[in-house]
Amino acid sequence: GNSVTQMEGPVTLSEEAFLTINCTYTATGYPSLFWYVQYPGEGLQLLLKATKADDKGSNKGFEATYRKETTSFHLEKGSVQVSDSAVYFCALSDQGSGYSTLTFGKGTMLLVSP
Amino acid sequence: DAGVIQSPRHEVTEMGQEVTLRCKPISGHDYLFWYRQTMMRGLELLIYFNNNVPIDDSGMPEDRFSAKMPNASFSTLKIQPSEPRDSAVYFCASSPYRTASYEQYFGPGTRLTVT
């Protein structure tokens, strides 16, 4: 079946530091890949997505590249801000079976200090 | 657009009581999802609907849980009787896409505490 593995948190960084959150996946077909972000007290919201191999998703300074050869979709940001403190979820959607839902990783908490 | 609306935002109840969580999806969205989030188990999909019809309820943990979608603008998740291990944040999400595989829009969640 499908699965998503994320690095465990919390990830603690100082403002302006470089961020990487690792995500690897297992899928039977050709999945689309997503990063969702959950700010404290809120629901999840889509941060970025990539629908095929070698695609790069980007938004708000965050980037992730769909790497089929390594089955990875690592999230990166060159300079984090305190406002980026949140929980980040990697997810995949495999359309091979027709109806499809999102499979989420367990989430990685990011804490950014001034 | 108001987004996905959930009520109540917080619910505290005693073990054995019935709990009903409510969700109003974004207008025009064909798919509605119910999730449960806990520290131990992360985010779990409980059930989802397409055009008001339940498609997959394999994530519903027990018969104590039930969900309905009587029309395109309203869904409920009911727990009867509630137990302390049901304490979690319950999210409703909706999606406009045909295959339910793209972006899902989440509500703010209902934090349920069962004492």
Q: Looking at chain A, which residue has its C-alpha nearest residue B41? A: A106
For chain B, the average pLDDT equals 92
Closest partner CB to B42 (pick from A49, A102, A107):
A107
Residues of A in contact with B48 (CB under 8 A): 101
Can you give the pLDDT at residue B99?
A: 55
Residue B103 is encoded by which pair of tokens?
Answer: 């972006």
Beta carbons within 8 Å of A69's beta carbon, 6+ residues apart: none
- Give the distance from CA A64 to its chain's centroid: 7
Which tokens hold the place of A35?
A: 């990063």
Contact B109 A45 (CB under 8 A): no
pLDDT digits (tens, 9 = 90+) for B14-42: 999 999 999 999 999 989 999 999 988 88
Q: Is B4 on the interface with A (CB under 8 A)?
A: yes
Q: Token pair for residue A103?
A: 């499979």
pLDDT at A68: 93
Region B42-53 average pLDDT: 92
| Chosen from A4, A37, A42, A44 to mutate, greatest number of chain B CBs within 10 A | A44
CB spacing of B101 vs A46 below 8 angstroms: no
| Cβ pair A48, A55 in contact under 8 A | no
**Residue B1 above 70 pLDDT?**
no
Chain-wide mean pLDDT for chain A? 92
Predicted local distance difference test score (pLDDT) of residue B2: 81
> Span A66-91, mean pLDDT?
96
Model confidence pLDDT, tens digit, residues B82-109? 999 999 999 999 988 765 456 789 999 9
Inter-chain touch B102–A32, beta carbons under 8 Å? yes
Is the pLDDT confidence value at B54 over 60? yes
Query: Over pLDDT 70: what percentage of chain A?
Result: 95
With CB atoms and an 8 Å threshold, state whether A107 touches B109. no
3-state helix, strand, coil in chain A (%, to 5): 5, 50, 45
Q: B101 vs A32: CB contact, 8 Å cut-off? A: yes
| Token duo for residue B40 | 């131990």
- Does the distance separating the beta carbons of A99 and B50 come in below 8 Å? yes
